Structure 1
Amino acid sequence: MPPSELMPIGVFARRSGLTPSALRFYADSGLLPPAEVDPASGYRYYGADQVARATALRRLREIAMPLATVEAVLDAGPGEASRLIDGHVAQVLGDAVAAQRKAVLIKSSLVTSSLAGAPGVPIAALKGPVLADAVEQILTATAREPGMPVLAGLHIEANRETVTLTATDRYRLSTRTLVPTEPSTAPWTATVDGDELRAAAPEIRRSPLVRIEATPHGIRLRMPDREDRHCRLLPDEFPDHRLVLASLPEATTRATLPKNRLLHALEEHPDGHITLLVTDRGVHVPTANPDPEHPDVLLPATVTGEPLLLSFSLTTLHPAVSTAIGPEVMLDLRGPDQPVTVRSADRGDLTTLAMPINPAHHAA
């Protein structure tokens, strides 16, 4: 290559976004050798046709890709390169999730150790499997909002007769009421870190009895023959869900139908938005362009009240239905712009409100 077409390492560094020291490292590793090296001075020169490879190398290293994988991507065709990049990203995400879970455990153990001698106020005693089920069901209604971290928490209200768990992401509101095996000594209300409760759920499930105690900054879960777990409290105020529940108008339409058939219809629906047409014939789940693979579905249902047409986001309606207890689900409907109550047809201790979407948005 004529010298006029070559760039010294400083110029090439500016063109590629790599530092001169990084270019020397990648040259020594064989990933990006210079086009020429002056035998007398040792100066390295690069060609314009190397800029694309250098830029790709920099971008791959910015996503923490190992050198061996970087080399494979740079030397592969587009299809294989995409597969390798996707595999690396999946590995990074998996490692991040594992690290997050371990961090929750570490924080919990540190807090537990620091509060080992701190007295706790007894709140309630509950059967472990029942509490674990309730925690996992209600936590499906949480959300991670940068401006409202409390939406990632589980709100607990305890009195002598009941323990009520509540969560909301502003589009759903799930609540379940449990009967403690032993009454609490005094009313208690707080919002607990959802991630830490989620991490503790497997241990809770394996414990026949779990005693919940309030500590200065969280709750302590005491389990026979197992290490205590501590979950932090969230300081922000939980949304006024009681006002939401109290202000609900009476249902104008009620539909009771098989839970699994409704779930199957939602899962097979080709769109992310779902329309339900509820009439005395049943619950109709239409598709925008029905075809043999995605036909309209008519679900048998016991319906009372007025016919009603509603639209939902799949991510709102599916979790509300899937967490319902029992083989049949009951929908209490109030109108196309009012929350729908989703609960078991025969067990009402788990209730979820699901907010419809504007049908005009769905059509758009």
Structure 2
Amino acid sequence: MPHPETMPIGVFARRSGLTPSALRFYDDAGLLRPAEVDPVSGYRYYRPEQVARATALCRLREIAMPLATAASVLDAGPEEAARLVDAHVAEVTGKAAAVRRTAALLTSSLTEVPSLPIAALKGPVLADAVEQVLTATAPEPGPAVLAGLRVEAAPDTGTLALTATDRYRLATRTLTPPEAPATAWAGTVDGDELRSLTSVIRRTARVRLSATPYGVRIGLGPGREDAHCRLLPGEFPDHRLMLASLGEPTTRVTLPKDRLLRALEEHPGERITLGTTGGGVDITLDDGDRPGRRLPAAVTGRTLRVRFALTTLHPAVSTALGPEVMLDLRGADRPATVRSADRGDLTTVVMPVGPDQPARSPSHRSGADPS
């Protein structure tokens, strides 16, 4: 008879997240032996304390860890186990990045159509702009283009516009390349692939962007292999309509960027209430009633109290250009604009939140729903 504290394989499978067939396989592989095996029926029985090992094994297999390495992790101490997991993740992500690069190169070579020159830019400037704008995206279910970076070349103005948006923010920056774009072009580039290349781009004095039917080629100069990013399918939200639909601000706040950032970083809550006064802005706790911190600021327009999620407001402020940041507020439930007080080529739109509401996309108020 099995021990009264043991459980049959079906019950143990439900508790551990592994299937009975997987448990039999891990028994044969020596990774997870049952506590008892009925000598007559062959039924396997497990103890409650084995659930933790089974759950860990399930998670290790979910990250594609080989059986031999998984066995070492399960039998190692905490520090060694963490080292083994980190080493495996580094190996997997490195291979994934190499696969993405090779796939982009392969797809770009599937057509005989020559690449179309887009623009030439200073590498450090482009890398900074990419990282600044991509703060307006976050991994979440939805259209793939909401994780991408929209690139638009305009020969008539001699500029290259970078735009990104998700359901909470919108950021756009306009660059003026040393060499004006020769051809009008627009496409949405995979944000993760481009983000992974920013360190390489930053170390390149000048990069040349060119378009193929399936992606964007990033020329890194003589003697260096070009990098590639694939284009994302789907229609990018009409960000120009979003920005044009915002309307004029009712209140404008201008203050030093570093002081505002410090206040946001030291704020103990996840939501921040900004209250404008004649001589500054009050940063208070979630309910907006308890004392907070007053920051000197230049304020014009009517008095407002607007609540933001920290995860929405902080990236918008931290990426703003220049020593002073300008907040254009339009009401407690209207999109706000964050930009530099003296440079207008980077603009971020963020949505406030209500007392019990999640942040909403600026598009929800502009008539262009990205979903």
User: Displacement, 1:340?
Assistant: 0.9
Q: Tell me the residue number matched to 1:258.
A: 256
Check if 1:70 corresponds to 2:63: no
**Contact 1:104/1:195 (<8 A) preserved:** no
Aligned to 1:248: 246
- Counterpart-to-counterpart distance in 1, 2:71 and 2:91: 23
Q: Is the alpha carbon distance of 1:224 and 1:312 closer, same or farther for their aligned partners in structure 2, counting shifts above 3 Å?
A: same
* Runs of at least 5 residues in structure 2 that lack an aligned partner in the other structure: 14-19, 62-69, 359-371
- Map residues 199-210 of structure 1 onto 2, 5 A cutoff: 199-210=196-207
Shift of 1:223: 1.8
What is the Cα deviation at residue 98 of structure 1?
6.0
Match of residue 341, structure 2, among 341, 345, 360? 345
Deviations 1:45-79 (A, max 9, x none): 98x8x521343332232122833543568xxxxxx
* CA separation of 1:13 and 1:260: change in aligned 2, threshold 3 A: same
- Are the counterparts in 2 of residues 12 and 51 from structure 1 also a CA contact under 8 Å? no
**Of 159, 175, 178, which aligns to 1:178?**
175
**TM superposition shift of 1:334:** 1.2
Q: 1:343–1:352: 8 Å Cα contact kept in structure 2? A: yes
Counterpart selection for 1:106 from 99, 114, 124: 99
Counterpart of 2:309 (choices 307, 313, 324) is 313
Residues 273, 286 of structure 2: 8 Å contact kept: no
- What SS is found at the alignment partner of 2:47? helix
Q: Name the counterpart of 2:218.
A: 221
Counterparts of 1:52-131 in structure 2 under 5 Å?
Answer: 52-64=48-60, 66-71=70-75, 84=78, 92=85, 95-96=88-89, 99-100=92-93, 102-112=95-105, 115=108, 119-131=114-126
**8 Å Cα contact 2:144/2:233 also seen in 1:** no
How far off its partner does 1:133 sit? 0.6
Partner SS state of residue 261, structure 1: helix
CA drift of 1:13 comes to: 3.4
CA 1:100–1:237: 2 relative to 1, 3 Å: farther
* Cα distance in 2 for residues equivalent to 1:196 and 1:120: 19
Q: What is the aligned partner in structure 2 of residue 140 from structure 1?
A: 135
What's the counterpart of residue 16 of structure 2?
none
- Tell me whether 1:298 sits opposite 2:302 in the alignment: no
Residue 135 of structure 1 aligns to which amino acid in structure 2? V
Structure 1, residues 292-330: CA drift from partner, whole Å, max 9, x if none?
Answer: xx9611011111111111000111100000000111101
Residues 20, 355 of structure 1: alpha-carbon distance in 2 compared, 3 angstrom cutoff: closer
SS at match of 1:143: coil
Change in 2 beyond 3 A, CA 1:103/1:15: closer
The one-letter code sitting in structure 2 at the alignment partner of 1:172 is R
Query: Secondary structure at the residue paired with 1:239?
Result: coil
Tell me, what secondary structure is at the counterpart of 1:311? Answer: strand
Q: Distance in 1 between matches of 2:305 and 2:83?
A: 40
User: Which residue type is aligned with residue 192 of structure 2?
Assistant: D
Q: Percent identity?
A: 49
- Displacement, 1:259? 0.8
Partners in 1 of 2:250 and 2:285 — Cα distance? 25
Instruction: Tell me the secondary structure at the aligned position of residue 64 of structure 1.
Output: helix
How far off its partner does 1:346 sit?
Answer: 1.3
**CA distance in 1 between partners of 2:83 and 2:278 (Å):** 47
Corresponding residue number in structure 2 for 1:80: none
Q: For 1:153 and 1:280, locate their aligned partners in 2 and report how far apart those are by CA, in whole Å.
A: 40
Query: What secondary structure sits across from 1:263 in the alignment?
Result: helix
Q: Which protein is bigger by CA-based radius of gyration?
A: 1
Q: Which residue of 1 aligns with 2:363?
A: none
SS of the counterpart of 1:254?
strand
* Residue 349 of structure 1: how far off its partner (Å): 0.7
State the alpha-carbon separation in 2 of the partners of residues 21 and 208 from structure 1.
54
Matches within 5 A, 1:17-32: 17=13, 19-20=23-24, 22-23=26-27, 26=30, 32=33
| Aligned residue number for residue 231 of structure 2 | 233
- Displacement of 1:115 in angstroms is 3.5
The residue type equivalent to 2:203 in the other structure is R
Rounded to whole Å, the distance in 2 between the matches of 1:33 and 1:113 is 48
Alignment of 1:149 onto 2:144: yes
d(CA) in 1 for partners of 2:147, 2:202 = 21
Match of 1:76 in 2: none
Distance across 2 between alignment mates of 1:90 and 1:325: 39
Which ranges of structure 1 fall in alignment gaps of 5 or more residues? Answer: 74-83
Q: 2:271·2:286 contact (CA, 8 Å) conserved in 1?
A: no
CA distance in 2, matches of 1:57, 1:336: 50
After superposition, the C-alpha distances for 1:12-71 in whole angstroms (9 at most, x for unaligned) are 434533545644654xx7x75756997xx9x9898x8x5213433322321228335435
* Residue aligning to 1:277: 275
Question: Which residue is equivalent to 2:351?
Answer: 355
